[in-house]
Chain A
Amino acid sequence: MLEVQLGALDAGLPPGVEEALDLVAAFDEALATGLGRLSQQGAQAVTGLAAAVAASPLGDRDAEAAEKVATGSVAGEHLTILAGARAALLGAVADALLARLDEALGRSRAPWEEPADGEAAAVPENLLVGCRSWLHEVAITGWRGVGHDLVAASDQAIEAMLAEPALRRPAVLLDGLAGELRASSPVATMEKLPARRWADLWTRALMLTQPGWSGAGDPGVPVSGRLLILGADVHEHATAVQLQVHGVLEPKDGGTPRLVRTAVSATKVDTIVGPAVWGVLQDHPVLLGALARHLSLDLTDMPLLASGDLLWDDAKAAAGELAAPFSTARVQLAGALAPAGPPLDRHPVAISEPVFVEGYKAAKVDGGLEFRVGGQAITVTTDRLPGCGPLTPQLLATSTACIGLLRWDGRWLLQPLAVQSTVKRQPVAAHTGDWALGPTDPKVVKSLARSGDAVAVLRERAGRLLRK
């Protein structure tokens, strides 16, 4: 990224974004105290949210739902409709932000094409009903009224959903939310609430548990070619981990190289943290090997979803030659065609665009870090460095080149995936996925050995106790 690109990116918020976010914030505030007994301010927040989508197909239903909720006669479907308005508003914000990003970077993006319907997985409807009614109850009560009993009431539904692979997305989401609520219970004692965050998770959970949302609708289109890895992003909460690899796909039949991603995920427990999380992802040795050894991957008929995600299958990939991510970022990234996200998934949180930055000066600001390119600067997410990789704030502070993801959370942020740096006058490169086959830093190897193999111990206990 150049100085002029950073400047264009940061030239104020796109029109309408601030107003939309204010409406969302007012609704989130109402959700904190509960939609069951709204103050006048809360009633205004709910009608304001509905008014914002008045011109959309949701308009009439939202106006009706807002009126009912504002006058205190709350039914589950009203809450779902309001959640839909909130999701639509944030989707529009995400679109505006992404358009700004594309313009600033000169990135070309393919238009969204609705994929062909695949076989919708049969989902037990009663599971979704149970989940939705818990979400409705939470909204009526408000976050401030959440305590141990209300959190525990979600246990059964979440456990049943986890066992259903087609419902993995809502299950993992709700498990993450329930974990935060459990740790924060009774929520009334919290000084301040993560209001936006919890409302986001609540909204998304309601969207994913609607009847008819199958989650596995897109069967993908088989693609072949060479995948050049840019970097790995790791997502993690107490009971789940996801590795998302960003790369450039050179199609075998020629054509424009494309920006693609692929994700592999697993459920885990909270005591599997740091480099130990790689242990639960070992079902994908080809992908992990390519990450750790910086190899390209030759793909044969790997399904590519309309969202730009490869549906990873180790059997359809073979390790290729050495391909340094920094070479890919320097040479291939700028010309690659980016995908559009599925409409339902659009949210500022989902913006994660690979970029390459060099020629910057790292500067410490207020306990954080920013990269300064000429007269422009971007904040680096030093709080978003995974415990399973070698990147540290110290390494970033001395770095000279960086592959990262552009993100937005109130402002533009750079999340590093890899850096080049100078340590003791030697050039070094560190990537998030370097330890995918096990840590290479002797100190980390030692501390990992000290805590023992958590997965093995728990599997032994499970074998002895679970099937009695």
Chain B
Amino acid sequence: MNADPTAWERRSVTLVVPPVQPRKLAKVPFVELADGRLQGVVSSGSDIGRVYVSFIAAGTHGFNCSTNNNRPCGGLYSSPCKHLNSLVAEAIVQYGAGRVARYLRVDGAETIESSYDLIRALNGGHEPGSAAVVFSRFLRHLGYLELPATTAPVAEMHWFPSTGAVR
């Protein structure tokens, strides 16, 4: 580290978003911390063509779970359903418990270690909301794998070095 306190601000290459950890995607293909929510898509256990859209809002901790056609999840009452539980568990694998808890602004975020801790620390209730925004972000997410590859050099990627070798 340079002793100059402004050095970090004056660096062109610095890690702003830590890379996520790989995880099994079969059950919960999509998780993100975006739009002020922990949100994602959970595959149905019984119907291969159906997915549930689940989210928990940062701050208020209001949560919802419904199918992508906005049919409410049958397991959702005043407490989170199994889809929301899976969402939280997989988010913790992907981002780490601390980052998820801080994003949701959970009290005592630094003490959260597991999805059990995190669900227990939520103080919101069921809050109906549309699945459309989250589902369209998921479709966009999938779209990245359908884009054609290119071989023209992308000079801008020099601002984004790969990091994350095993330490």
Which residues of A come within 8 Å of B, CB atoms? 21, 25, 28, 148, 152, 155, 159, 162-163, 165, 168-170, 172-173, 176, 179-180, 182-185, 192-197, 200-201, 204, 208, 215-216, 233-242, 244, 261-274, 276-277, 280-281, 283-284, 305, 307, 309, 311-313, 341, 345, 347-350, 352, 366-368, 381, 383-389, 391-393, 409-411, 415, 447-448, 450-452, 454-455, 457-459, 461-462, 464-466
Docked-complex contact B162 and A387, CB < 8 angstroms: yes
A-B CB contacts (within 8 Å), total count: 256
Docked-complex contact B157 and A172, CB < 8 angstroms: yes
Docked-complex contact B159 and A462, CB < 8 angstroms: no
Docked-complex contact B144 and A235, CB < 8 angstroms: no
- 17 contacts across the A-B interface (CB closer than 8 A): A168-B154, A176-B160, A182-B34, A183-B17, A192-B9, A194-B14, A195-B9, A235-B154, A238-B17, A240-B154, A271-B20, A349-B159, A384-B13, A387-B163, A391-B165, A457-B25, A465-B68
A64 to chain B, nearest CB (A): 29
Known: A21-B10, A204-B156. A271 touches B165 (CB 8 A): no
A158's nearest neighbour on chain B, judged by CB, is B140
Q: Chain B residues with Cβ under 8 A from A389's Cβ?
A: 165
Interface stretch, picked from B74-82, B106-114, B118-126, B145-153, is B145-153
Known: A159-B140, A197-B13, A451-B24. A350 touches B158 (CB 8 A): yes
A383's nearest neighbour on chain B, judged by CB, is B163
Docked-complex contact B14 and A385, CB < 8 angstroms: no
Docked-complex contact B159 and A387, CB < 8 angstroms: no
Answer whether residue B142 sits at the interface, using C-beta atoms and an 8 A cutoff.
Answer: yes
Complex Cα distance, B80 from A88, in Å, reads 54
B13, B144, B160: which contacts A267 (Cβ < 8 A)? Answer: B144
A308 to chain B, nearest CB (A): 9
Docked-complex contact A268 and B144, CB < 8 angstroms: yes
Most buried by B among A271, A368, A383, A452: A271
- Give the 10 A-B CB pairs with smallest separation, nearest first: A386-B162, A387-B164, A235-B157, A385-B165, A234-B162, A236-B162, A462-B142, A173-B156, A263-B153, A451-B22
Complex Cα distance, B166 from A385, in Å, reads 9
A185's nearest neighbour on chain B, judged by CB, is B36
Answer whether residue B29 sits at the interface, using C-beta atoms and an 8 A cutoff.
Answer: yes
Q: Chain A residues with Cβ under 8 A from B71's Cβ?
A: none
Known: A194-B9, A311-B152, A457-B26. A271 touches B94 (CB 8 A): yes
Complex Cα distance, B69 from A309, in Å, reads 48
B33, B141, B160, B163: which contacts A385 (Cβ < 8 A)? Answer: B163
B142's nearest neighbour on chain A, judged by CB, is A462
Docked-complex contact A386 and B164, CB < 8 angstroms: yes
Complex Cα distance, B31 from A269, in Å, reads 11
B17, B48, B159, B166: which contacts A464 (Cβ < 8 A)? Answer: B48
Q: Chain B residues with Cβ under 8 A from A162's Cβ?
A: 143-144, 147
Q: Chain B residues with Cβ under 8 A from A268's Cβ?
A: 144-145
Q: Chain B residues with Cβ under 8 A from A415's Cβ?
A: 161
B99 to chain A, nearest CB (A): 9
Interface size in chain B (residues, C-beta < 8 A): 64
A163, A179, A242: which contacts B154 (Cβ < 8 A)? Answer: A242
B102 to chain A, nearest CB (A): 10
A366's nearest neighbour on chain B, judged by CB, is B1
Docked-complex contact A452 and B26, CB < 8 angstroms: yes
A52 to chain B, nearest CB (A): 17
Question: Apart from A270-B19, A385-B165, what are 7 other A-B pairs with CB-CB below 8 Å?
Answer: A184-B16, A201-B156, A265-B149, A368-B1, A386-B162, A393-B167, A462-B145
Docked-complex contact B162 and A241, CB < 8 angstroms: yes
Answer whether residue B116 sits at the interface, using C-beta atoms and an 8 A cutoff.
Answer: no
A358 to chain B, nearest CB (A): 22
B5 to chain A, nearest CB (A): 9
A166's nearest neighbour on chain B, judged by CB, is B152
Docked-complex contact B151 and A311, CB < 8 angstroms: yes
Docked-complex contact A384 and B11, CB < 8 angstroms: no
Docked-complex contact A235 and B161, CB < 8 angstroms: yes
Docked-complex contact B16 and A183, CB < 8 angstroms: yes
Known: A176-B159, A273-B21, A366-B1. A264 touches B36 (CB 8 A): no
Most buried by A among B33, B36, B142: B142
Docked-complex contact B157 and A25, CB < 8 angstroms: no
B80 to chain A, nearest CB (A): 22
Docked-complex contact A179 and B162, CB < 8 angstroms: no
Docked-complex contact A240 and B157, CB < 8 angstroms: yes
Q: Chain A residues with Cβ under 8 A from B32's Cβ?
A: 270
Docked-complex contact B151 and A384, CB < 8 angstroms: no
A264's nearest neighbour on chain B, judged by CB, is B151
Q: Chain A residues with Cβ under 8 A from B43's Cβ?
A: 461
Q: Chain A residues with Cβ under 8 A from B15's Cβ?
A: 383
Name the interface residues of B45-104: CB closer than 8 Å to any CB of A. 48-49, 51, 68, 94
Q: Chain A residues with Cβ under 8 A from B48's Cβ?
A: 464
Q: Chain B residues with Cβ under 8 A from A192's Cβ?
A: 8-9
Docked-complex contact A274 and B164, CB < 8 angstroms: yes
Q: Chain A residues with Cβ under 8 A from B167's Cβ?
A: 392-393
